[in-house]
Structures are given as C-alpha cells and as structure tokens.
Amino acid sequence: MREAYIVQSVRTPGCKQKKGQFKETRPEELLSFIMKSAVERTQGLKPEHLEDVMCGCAFPEAEQGLNIGRVANQMAGFPEKVSGATVNRFCASGLEAIALASARVQMGWSDLTLGAGVESMTFVPMGGNIPRPHPEYSRTNAEMYVSMGVTAENVANRYNVSREDQDKFGAESQAKAARARDNGLFKEIVPTPAYKYVKQDNGTYKKEEFTVSHDDGIRQSTPEQLGKLRPVFAADGSVTAGNSSQTTDGAAATIIASKEKCDELGLKPVARLVGYTTVGCKSDEMGVGPRYAIPKILEQTGLAKEDIDIYEINEAFASQALYSIREIGIADMMDRINIHGGAIALGHPLGCTGAKLTATCLANLEEVGGKYGIVSMCMGGGMGAAAVFERI
C-alpha cells in the first residue's frame, strides 16, 4: 500500500447558526472558498493536479444537496475532470471524507485528492427539513431517532457526570478558545468572505461581501454563571446551552497526495493518516462513542495513550466528553486535550467537524512540536469514530 501524505489542512471560522456572520452565506460558498484556498496555499500545487474530492455533510439536502462535493469544486474553479462525492456519517462525515480520500491514494486509485467537510446549520436545520423516521421501526426502536440532547442526559445520569463538572468543563473550553483567539493561535483558520443582503432605497437587495477571521461563538463565562442556566432537554436535567456544543456553520479542507506526486510537484508533506476506525454503541447514549473508538484506534495503530501529544475530542456535550475522557484513562492529560477549546466554545458544524478538527489537530501538533494526534467524536444513531495522524 502506498503512503498518502497530507500537504495542507485548513478551515473557515465557525459561526453561530442563524445569528452568526455566515447566516446569509450559502454552504457552497463556504466550501468552494476553503477548497480553493487549500490549493492556493500549497506551494507547487495547481487545481489541475487534483483528481477527486470527497466531502462530508451530515444533512446533504436543499442548499447543501445535489452532491455538494462536485458542485462546490466546480464553483471553486477546479477543472471539469475533478470529480466529487458527498459522504454522510453524521458528525464524523468530514473525518470519513479525509479517510476515504486518503484510501484512494493509498490504493493507487488517485494520486492527489481532497477531503473536506461542510455544514450550514442555518440553511439546513438539525434533522433536515423533512425528517421521516420509519413508522413501524420507530415504535420498537425509538432510541435510534432520539434527540442527541436526551442522549447527553442519559450519559450524565447513567455515569454520574455532575452538573458542576459539566459547567466547569464548558467554562474551561470557552476560556481556552478565548486565549487562543486573542493570541493568534488558530493557525488553521483562513479569513473567509461572507455575504449579507442589504436593502436599497429602491426596495431591492444588494449582496455585499465582508471578511470573517474568527470563530464568532466564543463567549467567556464562569462555572457559576453557567450554573444559573436552565436545563434544555429535561426539567430536572443537567445539560444546558452552556455545557453543550453550539450549532454552527463552517467548512474545512485537507489535501492528500501520494509520495510520488509529492516528489514530482515538490509538495511538502505535513502529516499522514496512520489509522482510522469506527464503532457502534447504544443509540440512546450515542455520546460515549469516543470511549470505544479511541482505545480501538490505539490498538489498531500499536500506540499507547501516552504516545498521543494532541487529542481533539469533539465536545458534542460536556457530559459525553468528560465520561469518555475518564473511561479512556486520560483525565490526567487535560493539557493535551482540546488545548484551544472545543465545540462548546467553537461550535459543532456536524458534517464539517471531522475535517475541521483535523486541521486544528495538525496545527496544534505543529505548535507543541508533537508527533501523534487523535481526532475523535460521537455520532448520532450510536457510533464513535477516531483517527490517528502523524506529524511529518
């Protein structure tokens, strides 16, 4: 099997659903921009060198339907010969896309590919526009369709994750993200054009462009302040807006090339995908996915948890992230976990998250001079995913 090297990995900022700076920017615009930027930032690379694009999207319909992996790459100005596909593994869609793009290179099917992720939760809401669970199956297996917030309450109750610990975790995520933003540590972010429609004197609307440079959902708070928020999913629950991920709009892109193509074009490898795995778990506690996926990927790659320099574990909810961290046995390594904050502060743009966290993981490995990083998340329906990346 051939080596597949990552030569670029970048993301847009993440902006709040319906209230953020991307609320009038379509997903194809975000995705085409970040894909084009990834190519432009890679010395020696031109669009005509690309062969295929794999794009993750959790709800590939409406504005982000019609195979956005192909539509956006054409909007980016890539040649017609560049094919594209859209893949859906819910919250791991972007990571799945990078794994599939890497596998194409490893198998010799392509020499240069792009793995991406996109989600506009403003344009396509959680659950899609017209969710239609199977009528008979949903009567006997309702947990397959249960709200992810309810599953977070289940994790907190079943595994004794206290409200206080969840709020502390949420406040720390915000504080880390604010420090990173203020110190310019989100090196993976590309300032991104956004659009707004401004009403003119004649009653028509003009599309105006402006630039977004930072994640717009970061809001510093204390555990005590978060403790005053009401539960969202259960009257006597512990899961609140302050210890849950933000619904977000964003896109990210990673370019993968064979060793031969790197040598031919003079491309500089920055990392490689060492291994990727997925695993199923109970649907009504889907958040525990990383607790199973991370040990599985460590066994697959022959690494120990102490070998990992950076952990990017998606903070869908503080309850599930804390439980997973504790069960894996890395609670004493918090200085390696989400070092610049996680989804509670930065957002969880569903199908984009895996691609977004890959860009963040590689940037953070560079910052700390580390060798191995893990990206992991839970997924709706009861699954976990994890990937190991090695910094070159």
In SS3 terms, 44-83 reads as: CCCHHHCCEEEEECCCCCHHHCCCHHHHHHHHCCCCCCCE
Give the mean pLDDT of 238-246. Answer: 98
Summarised one tens digit per residue, pLDDT across range 12-48 is 999 999 999 999 999 999 999 999 999 999 999 999 9
Domain at 141-186+273-387: CATH code: 3.40.47.10
Say how many CA atoms lie within 13 Å of 307 toward its Cβ. Answer: 14
Q: What is the per-residue pLDDT for 124? A: 98
Q: Is 125 helix (H, G, I), strand (E, B) or coil?
A: coil
Name the β-bridge partners of 167: none
Contacts of 71 (CB under 8 A, 6+ apart): 28, 84
Summarised one tens digit per residue, pLDDT across range 269-311 is 999 999 999 999 999 999 999 999 999 999 999 999 999 999 9
Q: How many CB atoms sit inside 10 A of residue 335's CB?
A: 7
- The per-residue pLDDT of the chain, averaged, comes to 98
Q: What is the per-residue pLDDT for 84? A: 98
Distance CA 357, CA 377 (A): 10
Picking from 190, 188, 185, the residue whose alpha carbon sits closest to that of residue 37 is 190
Picking from 24, 4, 19, 68, the residue whose alpha carbon sits closest to that of residue 352 is 68
Distance CA 61, CA 244 (A): 25
Picking from 90, 142, 136, the residue whose alpha carbon sits closest to that of residue 117 is 90
Q: How do the residues of the chain divide into helix, strand and coil, expressed in percent and rounded to 5? A: 40, 25, 35
Cα 187 to chain centroid, rounded:
16
Picking from 306, 309, 312, the residue whose alpha carbon sits closest to that of residue 293 is 312
Largest Cα–Cα distance of the chain, in whole Å?
A: 66
When pLDDT is cut at 50, 70 and 90, the band that residue 260 belongs to is very high
Summarised one tens digit per residue, pLDDT across range 94-151 is 999 999 999 999 999 999 999 999 999 999 999 999 999 999 999 999 999 999 999 9
Whether pLDDT at 182 is above 90: yes
Picking from 55, 39, 46, 47, the residue whose alpha carbon sits closest to that of residue 7 is 39
Distance CA 186, CA 13 (A): 9
Residue type, 332: D
Which residue numbers are catalytic? Answer: 91, 348, 378
Q: What is the per-residue pLDDT for 132? A: 95
Q: What is the per-residue pLDDT for 1? A: 87
Q: Is 25 helix (H, G, I), strand (E, B) or coil?
A: coil
Summarised one tens digit per residue, pLDDT across range 46-56 is 999 999 999 99
Q: Are strands 83-87 and 52-56 parallel, antiparallel or unpaired?
A: parallel
Domain boundaries, the chain: 4-126+245-272, 141-186+273-387
Distance CA 15, CA 216 (A): 5
| H helix runs in the chain, sequence order | 27-40, 68-75, 93-106, 135-140, 148-158, 163-182, 223-226, 259-265, 289-301, 318-328, 343-346, 353-368
- Geometric angle at alpha carbon 170, from 96 and 247, rounded to 5°: 50
Distance CA 209, CA 135 (A): 45
Query: Which two tokens mark 360?
Result: 């963040």
Residue with tokens 């930072």: 214
As its CATH architecture, domain 4-126+245-272 has 3-Layer(aba) Sandwich (3.40)
**CB 387 within 8 Å of CB 375:** yes
